Structure 1
Amino acid sequence: MAKVVCFGEIMLRLSPPGYLRFEQATSFDVVYGGGEANVCVSLANYGEEAVFVTKVPDNPIGQAAINEMRRYGVDTRYMIKGGKRLGIYFCEKGASQRASKVVYDRAGSAISQAKREDFDWTKIFEGADWFHFTGITPALGDNVAECVLDAVKAAKEAGLTVSCDLNFRKNLWTSEKAGQVMAQYMPYVDVCIANEEDAEKVFGIKAADTDIIGGKLSHEGYKDVAKQLAERFGFKAVAITLRGSISASDNNWAAMLYKDGEFYFSRNYAIHIVDRVGGGDSFGGGLIYALLNGYSNQDALEFAVAASCLKHTIEGDHNHVTLSEVKALMAGDGSGRVQR
């Protein structure tokens, strides 16, 4: 069993039931989620030791967030308490040609008030094998960005593998600020994970012959993106998810991995979406698991894509799937037939 540490924000998600719009809602469904929290849940589901590091308010809502992670077997000892509120986001699920919408209410959240002295990274990383973070976390404030820098330095000093999902969020910071801040972490990162837009939004590296809005994704263009990222920052591996958006309800879903000087492409899945939030995080969790467990490069990619394909069929942020379910889909069983 490997030990993976993830650092980031856990948030309260409020969604109108079904496909109601915000203006129609008279109640909201409650779940918890967040990039690194979702990765932790995936890894715990696969049997790994997942440790989540964050800061939550010292009130019943903060305790509810801790309980949520404990529920899935995540180690919560470094979910420290302090600050006044848990970040909230509202999510309206789109359908057909109507896009999903997210409204953030996270200003002043407990994690955004975190200080460098809140986290003893030497202690946190004892016995750990892997450290994961996303570009969302340093976007929460300069003080949190300093915490992330301390973490990646300590992780590398301790000999951990470090992964980063670039996860650009335009509602949190500008591309210019993202590029400046994220560049300081990249020398410590071994595995870089991105979607079809992140490299361009954060580092100005754009895939040629690609139209994301029109759903046209060029394999050659993304091979060039991955190679440029690896050459610029010295990554050992670059993984890019490739989402072909037909509509809010139907997507093509695949990914590419650049590792050991070779390019690997997964099979493509035609997905009818139940809930796409957390799709990238489920890919990251699957990739980390597969690489930690000695999968071949092609199989590691196929595992991650199959896991994230299944996540799109599940309500909420977390990926509630088992190893056997992912492996069955990897093996070609995507029929959806009733299992008795």
Structure 2
Amino acid sequence: MKEKIVTFGEIMLRMTRPNKERIIQGSAWKGLFGGSEANVAVSLAMFGDNVEYVTRLPNNKIGMACLNEIRKYNVGTDYIVHGGDRLGLYYYEESAALRSSSIVYDREDSSITTIKSGMIDWKKTFSETRLFHWSGISSAVSQGAADATNEAVEEAEREGITISCDINHRANLWKYGKDAHDVLLPIAQKSDIVFGTADEWKLITGITPPDFKATTPDYPIDGAAYEEYFRKASKILPKAKKMIVALRNTLSANHHLLSGVIFADGKLYTTRIYDIDDVLDPMGVGDAFIAAYLHAHLKYGDDNQRCLNFSLAASALKNTILGDFNLSTEQEVEYLMNGFEE
């Protein structure tokens, strides 16, 4: 039995109007399950990893439907707890041409927002666990969820488990009176792997990363500027052995440019830029990136360049898949990655 990867966070039901209709129009909805840490779990399972997803679900038919959905991708659910009255929802308006996407959340009093410390037996959950992944979204929804996240990270740290953090800042979720920086930084400082966008890295460190303004794949990434940034960030996050920034420039709803950088072992690694001019669904692209990185890190170890190349290829492929989950296999990601290395 391979050692486990454990992820923890909220899964929700995503409601979308068909045919890129606006939230305020139409009569039909399409429902899909998704959520950052669940997205990571599904991606890892698609790569063949032994992964357990931990959350709190209502003990009703919606909770059962959610369990059925993630189990069909071979994600472990043995440590999911039940309680609360409802699953969180979000209503998603897809972007189109010059119109940006829009989200309306309906997650108040959901099962995860009413979670408390002690509801999950983390010591039991972490049996034979190699890596634990958390994200800032869970800490945003309530004090109880933030406490449960910190409780998990502290237990993982005590047991010597590698801890992965996706900063994952959503400003419109922080409504319980706490500042995102003040809550997230102390937990991130216990993490060995830290991932985020440039804006999220700025939130955590208070330092602005270099700009990424690519309009073509030959855009020059300023490696020296990123290296200088990470050397400063290392003083704020001294435990972080791997620091990763996902880079995206959105030219239109359907035209994105993607890249990424990793700072590891005192060295910066850069990779190519993907020019994606037919984006089908950008939701979960960052989750696909960090999931692929975690898989590559466990498989390739400190081959940081290969890990970065694999992560970016997986992230690029996610843009071609509808829904929150990245349903790409390891072989499909390697095919894309290697096709541009030869």
Which band: TM-score by shorter chain?
over 0.9
Correspondence for 1:237 among 226, 238, 242:
242
TM-score (norm 2): 0.93
SS at match of 1:108: coil
Alpha-carbon distance in structure 2 between the residues aligned to 1:256 and 1:333? 17
Q: Mind listing any 5+ residue stretches in structure 2 that lack a counterpart?
A: none
Give 2:128's aligned residue. 127
Q: Could you tell me which amino acid in structure 1 is paired with residue 174 of structure 2?
A: W
Alpha-carbon distance in structure 1 between the residues aligned to 2:293 and 2:157? 20
Q: Mind listing any 5+ residue stretches in structure 1 that lack a counterpart?
A: 335-340
Q: Give the drift of 1:65.
A: 1.0
- RMSD, matched Cα: 2.0
Deviates more, 1:248-257 or 1:223-232: 223-232
Whether the aligned pair in 2 keeps the contact of 1:36 and 1:132 (CA below 8 Å) is yes
Deviates more, 1:186-195 or 1:221-230: 221-230
Q: Give the drift of 1:187.
A: 2.9
- After superposition, residues 77-88 of structure 1 pair within 5 angstroms as 77-88=78-89
1:254 counterpart = 2:294? no
1:178 counterpart = 2:200? no
The superposition leaves residues 215-248 of structure 1 with CA deviations (integer Å, 9 ceiling, x where unpaired) of: 9975544333333222211110101000011112
- After superposition, residues 1-340 of structure 1 pair within 5 angstroms as 1-173=2-174, 177-208=179-210, 210=211, 219-234=223-238, 235-271=240-276, 272-295=278-301, 296-332=303-339
Over the matched positions of the two proteins, sequence identity in percent amounts to 36
The superposition leaves residues 239-275 of structure 1 with CA deviations (integer Å, 9 ceiling, x where unpaired) of: 1000011112101000000001110011110012100
Q: Give the drift of 1:312.
A: 0.6
Alpha-carbon distance in structure 2 between the residues aligned to 1:170 and 1:218? 28
Whether the aligned pair in 1 keeps the contact of 2:153 and 2:163 (CA below 8 Å) is yes
The superposition leaves residues 187-208 of structure 1 with CA deviations (integer Å, 9 ceiling, x where unpaired) of: 3200000112101234322124
Alpha-carbon distance in structure 1 between the residues aligned to 2:77 and 2:271? 34
Q: Could you tell me which amino acid in structure 2 is paired with residue 129 of structure 1?
A: R
Whether the aligned pair in 2 keeps the contact of 1:196 and 1:243 (CA below 8 Å) is no
Q: Could you tell me which amino acid in structure 2 is paired with residue 303 of structure 1?
A: F
In structure 2, do the counterparts of structure 1 residues 142 and 328 end up closer, same or farther at CA, with 3 Å as the change threshold? same
Deviates more, 1:196-205 or 1:214-223: 214-223
Alpha-carbon distance in structure 1 between the residues aligned to 2:174 and 2:225? 26
Alpha-carbon distance in structure 2 between the residues aligned to 1:184 and 1:173? 17
Q: Give the drift of 1:176.
A: 7.3
Alpha-carbon distance in structure 2 between the residues aligned to 1:202 and 1:275? 28
Q: Could you tell me which amino acid in structure 2 is paired with residue 43 of structure 1?
A: L
Alpha-carbon distance in structure 2 between the residues aligned to 1:176 and 1:154? 23
Q: Could you tell me which amino acid in structure 2 is paired with residue 190 of structure 1?
A: D
TM-score (norm 1): 0.93
